[in-house]
Structure 1
């Protein structure tokens, strides 16, 4: 016997009473906006109420009202864009932990492309990076759970867990014919967002793995440490596989290299979504020649920094096109430890370029690769290759280690070569002072 449409009065009354506190809470949480021209769509609300009632009455298992409304909220947000989501208490806590730089899991940033769960980047020195996961890897399964239909938050919850437990992921990599299975042991992820080292005398390397609350301070400390022995003649700022993070941290990092001008601005429907961030006059490294490395795993805050330095002609951006995540999410607490992460604006570079779905195009495109020395006629023998050769000043081991690293990381090697070339050109363009005979 077919079901007849249920009367709508009771469902609407029940739904109305359930929605009143939600509407009241949102009215307190959100800034005031212009009133819509039309009232609430009664027909659509009636349809929603009927679905709500039929699930309550006919679904194979009993579902309470709170669960149904929470699931409706998740669905409403998931259909907006990949980054808007409802955060329950556990998810909200996880978000705060990752922002502060410590959480339990495998150390991976994920997003969705064409509906497929995809690796944005593995975080440096984490189980995910050591297991060989790469940006653009598609995640097909997490343990025994297919990722199709999972929200981003559900996927993150599956990947996080107790340290020492094992996670199995099935991934599909571009250019490969079949999926591969990867086992990763969870750890407490304590991410150090900034590290630095010298590539050569006068040339520094600054790596930012993600933007956390203290990243700006750490960059200033790293620049001071690099300049301790001698002034820097060039710096590589490595933002590859950086998934982004805190907006203010990105502004602080760009400000370390800029002494004036716009860094980034945002535009949205709400009045407080229109923001502009400019550089201050006090700058840590305003004149050091700079090469910025980006790739397809550079997203959000990393793209803000790269775009600002590119538009301000402050440095040369090198690598491959970035991810293109140029939307702004606000975290809106809802009470009981829950929150709403809602996309409210878009980022724009100083020249007015939208980052969203377009990314930052490098000034010099260099794909990642490994430098191989061809056998046969291309092989060269140097003094250092001869058995029993004399060493000079004990620098051989360090030089060999650096050479191997630059050979394994072609982009980094090209960045260093470009910095050296820029310094050669700068020295040639410097004014020459003519020598004069001393006066008698």
Structure 2
């Protein structure tokens, strides 16, 4: 199978990465400029003129220049890209958690649109579209021959309008046809639930502008009836978002002025240390939501759940809590996206998203193309299997890990850990048990069938027993 070449969103609004900000000065305001390569630009001009004068059909100048800029960026790394007016608007709106579409994060593989992840509570999610599905037809148009941008534009549309998708799914003999009704997607990035008496569950699906404040609100709800014995922070399948939101979420669980992450790049403004101080997680004159934090949140025993879909901002939070030994990280190795993107506006309401720095955990680890390796490895099902996932190291042109060099495109080995729960005896498994073991985590919030969550709760209960015994 071909590698996932490019990431994109179809009305998802989630950011598959870490964005420092959307409010940057235009490129024209930069004081320093690189010297231009005259000979190479002459070659570019010759190619441009050859197309203008000899191509079989007329091509607009703007289209040629736009494609040249797009190609220049997309060949740098998987996360640098040119944003036309629509894409730039989607990016801006997406950080606020409201946008239009069907609710899937997508990429391109072998000329088809591949579903990276359906977004919860969206038309795609409710229709049962799954990670790994390959879309080969959009309405009456075959995807083969379309760029990812062209395919995404065809899947967008006005709310209440319908779209037909034809899908190939692994394990299904025949194509699946799905009719969806587009709608305005409002993503609630934080959800919580008291799963058992004394044990809370907090899930973050993306890091938006208001995610930190929402985390504090949900923590107050969980602690309303008294202290908790344990808390599970679920970052599985969280593709990332805004850096300041990741710092704000970390501030809810770590002491004041504690280092969360650092960034390093070639430009002076790409070098920074982010700590749990208001100046690093707040923007403008907003109230400091951490002041409303229940004090027990910084001491409650914690387990952080991660998997191969946990990327960027979620990896920053998991890495910070792991390095400071604030929580036990449980699950499978994360995606491994350790780079930061800066959005630079251009004339015409367009922009470029440019990778400007790598980020590091508090101990100085780079997770680029490696990921956060859990303290305790627990697969997604009881029979020891997890869904096959693409990771940063699988993407073409991915940055190397500057601390360890190039990383193979496979999951990083995890250190041995004792099992959380007793393992079942080897041998044949009855059919009903085998079916249950092979079942992937339920879409229900804090489902009782969620194997990894159950192991996290077992671990917290074991920690509580040891605390009581002491």
TM-score normalised to structure 2 length: 0.72
Q: Report the secondary structure of 1:408's partner residue.
A: coil
Question: Offset of 1:161 from its aligned partner?
Answer: 1.5
Q: 2: CA distance between counterparts of 1:220 and 1:115?
A: 43
Answering whether residue 143 of structure 2 is matched by residue 146 of structure 1, we say yes
SS at match of 1:43: helix
Distance in 2 between residues matched to 1:148 and 1:267, nearest whole Å: 39
For residues 399-419 of structure 1, give each alpha carbon's deviation from its aligned partner in whole angstroms, at most 9, with x where no partner exists: xxxx99644211111111111
- Cα contact 1:369–1:408 (8 A) shared by 2: no
- The equivalent of 1:128 in structure 2 is 124
**Partner of 2:333: helix, strand, or coil?**
coil
Distance 1:189 1:404, change over 3 A: closer
Aligned residue number for residue 76 of structure 1: 72
Give how far 1:213 is off.
0.2
Can you list the C-alpha shifts for 1:275-330, whole angstroms capped at 9, x where unaligned? 21112497651111111111121111111111111111111111122122222111
CA distance in 1 between counterparts of 2:29 and 2:380 reads: 46
Q: How do 1:147-296 and structure 2 match up within 5 A?
A: 150-151=147-148, 153-171=149-167, 180-259=176-255, 260-280=257-277, 284=294, 285-296=297-308
Aligned equivalents of 1:240, 1:40: Cα separation in 2: 44
User: C-alpha offsets along residues 96-120 of structure 1, whole Å, 9 cap, x if unaligned?
Assistant: 1111111111112234679875433
- Select between 117-126 and 72-81 the one with higher mean Cα deviation: 117-126
* Contact 1:82/1:111, CA 8 A, preserved across alignment: no
> Which residue matches 2:376?
364
Deviation at 1:145, TM superposition (A): 3.8
| DSSP 3-state at the match of 2:105 | strand
Residues 228 and 326 of structure 1, relative CA distance in 2, 3 Å threshold: same
Do the aligned partners of 2:27 and 2:344 also contact (CA within 8 Å) in 1?
no
Within the alignment, does 1:352 sit opposite 2:370 as a pair?
no
User: Secondary structure of the residue that 2:200 maps to in structure 1?
Assistant: strand
Q: Is the 8 A contact 2:190 2:211 kept in 1?
A: yes
**Higher RCO by CA contacts (8 Å cutoff, separation 6 or greater):** 2
Between structure 1 and structure 2, the one with the greater Rg is: 1
Consecutive unaligned residues of structure 1, counting only runs of 5 or more, are 1-24, 379-402, 430-440
Match of residue 28 from structure 1: 28
Mapping of 1:111-122 within 5 angstroms? 111=107, 117-122=113-118
Two-structure CA RMSD over aligned residues (Å): 3.1
Cα offsets for 1:255-285 (capped at 9, x unmatched): 1000053111111111111121112497651
Of 159-168 and 222-231, the range deviating more from structure 2: 159-168
Q: Which residue of 2 aligns with 1:420?
A: 461
TM-score (norm 1): 0.77
Task: Count matched residues.
Answer: 376
Structure 1 pair 121–197 and aligned structure 2 pair: CA distance change class (3 A): same
Cross-structure match for 2:349 = 337
CA distance in 2, matches of 1:150, 1:316: 42
Q: Which of 294, 297, 306 pairs up with 2:318?
A: 306
- Name the SS for the 2:241 alignment partner: coil
